[in-house]
Amino acid sequence: MKQNQLIRIGNVVEADQCINYLINRPQAEMVGLGLLYGRPGLGKTTYAQRTAFQRGYIYLRLEAFTTAKTFSVKLLSTLYEYFDINDVIPSGTTENVFKLCMEILEDHPQTVIIIDEIDYAFNQPKLLGAIRDIVDETLVIVILVGMQTARDRLARLNEHYFDRCNAFVEFKPATKKDVRLIVEEIMDIPVTELMVTQIYQNCRGNLRKAIKMMYSMESNQKAATQTANVIDLEEAR
């Protein structure tokens, strides 16, 4: 199976449109904040990571213990690396570290930052506030990536925040067309329509499940071919 692919399924096309919309926005009127959200296994992280890699965006992933401080340090070290800045991370206050991030971002308004697992920030006003400051005070684009409930939670949590968000994309379960596209691009064995139908029906739109099925189909077929080759060899003797 081929790895590290970003197949252009429907969600990928829509998410690309969302980022392009923000890139072309009237910057004086609109901030560059977007949200990608959806149920598990629909390809949000795959889109975020592989698009960031392909287009030179910054990808950050929040973790259960991320705080405003650790976020600022991670962002600053990523920015230093990204812009080839030869400096050490200061051991000062969160405000100082964050200020340095803002200075770099002000100097690089074309930057796009994708922040995955944004749900971890929802119970941390300071962290959420820091991300909001980036979009309010710089021209940088920030794309938040979260769970299915992220849109509603953001709306309930902070109306002002929600109001800033200019582009939303809900990742939807994969269609049969999406599954066919992925199966044909990723699998190393010949694909039949029956295989596409089986994978589509069993995965119920979840690409994580679809990938597992593709892998086991491919392993089974390779094992069967090897066995057949051994039998052929024995018969030929």
Ligand X SMILES: Nc1ncnc2c1ncn2[C@@H]1O[C@H](COP(=O)(O)OP(=O)(O)OP(=O)(O)O)[C@@H](O)[C@H]1O
Q: How far apart are CA 62 and CA 142, in angstroms?
A: 14
What is the enclosing helix (H) or strand (E) of 101? helix 94-107
Contacts of 30 (CB under 8 A, 6+ apart): 166
Nearest distance in Å: CB 150, Mg ion: 11
Nearest distance in Å: CB 3, ligand X: 8
Read off the tokens for 26.
Answer: 């009237």
Nearest distance in Å: CB 88, ligand X: 33
Task: Using CB positions, name the residue nearest to ligand X.
Answer: 43
- Residue 158 interacts with ligand X (CB under 6 A): yes or no: no
SS3 assignment, position 147:
strand
Nearest distance in Å: CB 45, Mg ion: 3
- Residue 211 interacts with ligand X (CB under 6 A): yes or no: yes
- Give the orientation angle of helix 68-82 with respect to helix 94-107, to 10 degrees: 40
Give exposure, 211-226, as e/b (b: 16+ Cβ within 10 Å).
Answer: bebbeebbeeeeeeee
Strand partners, 37: 146, 170
Among 25, 39, 45, 70, binds Mg ion (CB under 5 A): 45
Comparison of 42 and 58: residue with beta carbon closer to ligand X: 42
Comparison of 14 and 133: residue with beta carbon closer to ligand X: 14
Among 15, 18, 19, 44, binds ligand X (CB under 6 A): 44
Binding-residue pattern over the window 72 to 101 for ligand X, x denoting contact by CB under 6 A: ------------------------------
Residues 173 and 39 sit within 8 Å (Cβ to Cβ) = yes
Among 6, 30, 157, 189, binds ligand X (CB under 6 A): 6
Residues 73 and 91 sit within 8 Å (Cβ to Cβ) = no
Q: How many residues does the chain have?
A: 237
- Residue 206 interacts with Mg ion (CB under 5 A): yes or no: no
Q: Which residues bind ligand X (CB under 6 A)?
A: 5-7, 9, 12, 40-46, 182, 207-208, 211
Q: Which residues bind Mg ion (CB under 5 A)?
A: 44-45
